Amino acid sequence: MELVHRPRRLRDGETIRRMCRETRISADSLIYPIFVDEVLSGKREIESLPGQYQYGLDCVEQAIAECIEAGVKSCILFGIPAHKDAHGSSAWDPEGVIQKAIHKIKAAYPDFYVVTDVCMCEYTDHGHCGALCDYKVDNDATLELLCKVAVSHAHAGADMVAPSDMMDGRVAAIRHALDEAGYKNVPIMAYSAKYASAFYGPFRSAAGSAPSFGDRRGYQMDPHNRKEAMKECQLDVEEGADIIMVKPALSYLDIIRECSDAFDVPMAAYSVSGEYAMIKAAAQAGLVDEYRIMCESALSIFRAGANILITYYAKELAAAIQRGDVG
């Protein structure tokens, strides 16, 4: 048969397939989420996220050592504080759980890149992402709290802050506060298009941050919307975000593609707790090959246009990339 085009020629063997790969991924682009519990000693497996742990302040360095060993160079920290109150004041306590964790990590591994999640939901007794006024989150009052949190993280030595609260104007407010406090060079990775998603379920039990009433739809985005994601990204870029993010990842690959095409800043994607937990559960039930699904899912997020991936599989992925199974 006379065929000019035979795409199979470029699939005939591992060497040529690898030569022609359109998407390349590297362990340099991975960020590993770490939960630090102020009252815990040692580490405890998280029931809703098999294979993931909450770390006590006495062993948070161990979590970093494991990342470095695997080839992962960056983490994002989430705190589980001993005390919560209406305003989440332990979030900006210089002796708070995240501030102490940063000190410990930086003392042991000064070059390890530490990102912090800036939000109130783990610190407020009502579990919402800001200060309340009549059972609603008060946007402008919350901005002041977020600024204090971001500055206190930078002061403790965080390399980058990542606001995940979805308040309007928070990137501009945090940029201004960081600059005023002398942290001009601390970048902001904004959770720009963060959807009100059921995929956060396992995280909320891991971080003890489920809202005690209502839900987050008054501030996080409606999953039906695409243009609104563009608007959120645009606002964050204008306000000074250095990196923008889409979250969750797998059900929002269209949004990652569109926003990464439209904006000239690096695009991060957060493959969230529910995405991880679903793969784990399916694998444990013997239904899928966990390793291959992990590789293929991560790859699809980069193919959609992400440059950075936050994932609970960061260490296993780094190993898979090193082995050449993906990347």
Both tokens of residue 80?
A: 């589980």
Residue 177 Cβ vs ligand PBG, minimum distance, rounded to whole Å: 19
Residues 6+ apart with CB under 8 A from 103: 156, 157
Q: Does residue 104 have an active-site annotation?
A: no
* Nearest to ligand PBG of 31, 327 (CB atom): 31
Tokens representing 156 are 């403790």
Q: What are the start-end ranges of the E strands in 171-298?
A: 189-194, 243-247, 267-271
Residue selected from 29, 89, 164, 192 as contacting ligand PBG according to rule CB under 6 A: 164
Question: Quick check: is 194 catalytic?
Answer: yes
Look at residues 64, 61, 32 and name the one whose alpha carbon lies nearest to residue 49.
Answer: 32
> Of 206 and 327, which has the nearer Cβ to ligand PBG?
206
Q: Is 204 in the site for ligand PBG (CB under 6 A)?
A: yes
**Residues 105, 111, 114: CA angle, nearest 5 degrees:** 55
What is the nearest approach in angstroms of ligand PBG to the Cβ of residue 216?
A: 6
Q: Report the sign of the C-alpha dihedral through residues 275, 279, 285, 287, in that order.
A: positive
Q: Which is nearer to ligand PBG, 105 or 310 (CB)?
A: 310
SS3 97: helix
- HEC-encoded secondary structure of 107-167: HHCCCCEEEEEECCCCCECCCCCCCEECCEECHHHHHHHHHHHHHHHHHHCCCEEEECCCC
- Shortest distance, CB of residue 211 to ligand PBG, whole angstroms? 8
As measured in angstroms, the least distance from the Cβ of 248 to ligand PBG is 7
**211 prior amide bond cis, ω within 30:** no
Q: Which residue type occupies 148? A: K
Interface positions, 273-292, toward ligand PBG (CB under 6 A) = 273
Q: Which is nearer to ligand PBG, 244 or 327 (CB)?
A: 244
Query: Least separation, in Å, of the C-beta of 195 and ligand PBG?
Result: 9
Residue in the block written with tokens 């940063």: 102
| 54 versus 273: smaller Cβ distance to ligand PBG | 273
Q: Which letter does DSSP use for residue 45 in this model?
A: E
Question: Looking at 203, 252, 302, 313, which residue binds ligand PBG (CB under 6 A)?
Answer: 203
Stretch that binds ligand PBG, among 1-9, 56-64, 95-103, 196-204 (CB under 6 A): 196-204
Considering only residues 219-278, where is the footprint of ligand PBG by CB under 6 A?
A: 272-273
Instruction: Print the binding letters for residues 104-133 with ligand PBG: x by CB under 6 A, - otherwise.
Output: -------------x-x-x-------x----
Cα 296 from Cα 326, distance rounded (Å): 8
To ligand PBG, the closest distance from the beta carbon of 245 in angstroms equals 10
The residues that touch ligand PBG, with contacts defined as CB under 6 A, are 117, 119, 121, 129, 164, 200, 203-204, 209, 272-273
Residues marked active site are found at 194, 247
